[in-house]
Amino acid sequence: DTAVSQTPKYLVTQMGNDKSIKCEQNLGHDTMYWYKQDSKKFLKIMFSYNNKELIINETVPNRFSPKSPDKAHLNLHINSLELGDSAVYFCASSQFSDHYGYTFGSGTRLTVV
């Protein structure tokens, strides 16, 4: 199936831990994104990568770092997790020049306890 896939779907961890979320797309898109959706369901962009280059970095704590080994993968590493990091994290991809919208992964629900 052509898709954006994320793993894991659920992640429960203790404060202070370091964790990673993986994302892969097989749509041939050249740009990938990470979004955070908080408890109020507001979707906010965190990062985007275009052809392995970071092109947007919002005011996200430097505990969060995106890593892209190739244009089909964009992983999210989070260090020293805090309670406020609990949210659903969505990966998405697009063909940057097309403006046809983004395809989202199924999300990773992160709970920090």
Whether 3 and 23 have beta carbons less than 8 Å apart is answered as no
Give the nearest distance from C-beta 102 to another protein in angstroms.
Answer: 6
Give the nearest distance from C-beta 55 to another protein in angstroms.
Answer: 7
Stretch 22-61 residues interacting with another protein (CB under 8 A): 33, 40-45, 48, 55-56
Whether 9 and 107 have beta carbons less than 8 Å apart is answered as yes
Helix, strand, coil in percent for the chain, rounding step 5: 5, 55, 40
Give the nearest distance from C-beta 44 to another protein in angstroms.
Answer: 8
Nearest to 35 by CA among 8, 58, 68: 58
- Strand 108-112 versus strand 10-13 pairing type: parallel
Which segment (10-18, 20-28, 60-68, 103-111) binds another protein by CB under 8 A? 103-111
Q: Applying CB under 8 A, does 95 fall inside the site for another protein? A: no
Which residues are at the interface with another protein (CB under 8 A)? Answer: 33, 40-45, 48, 55-56, 90, 92, 94, 99-107
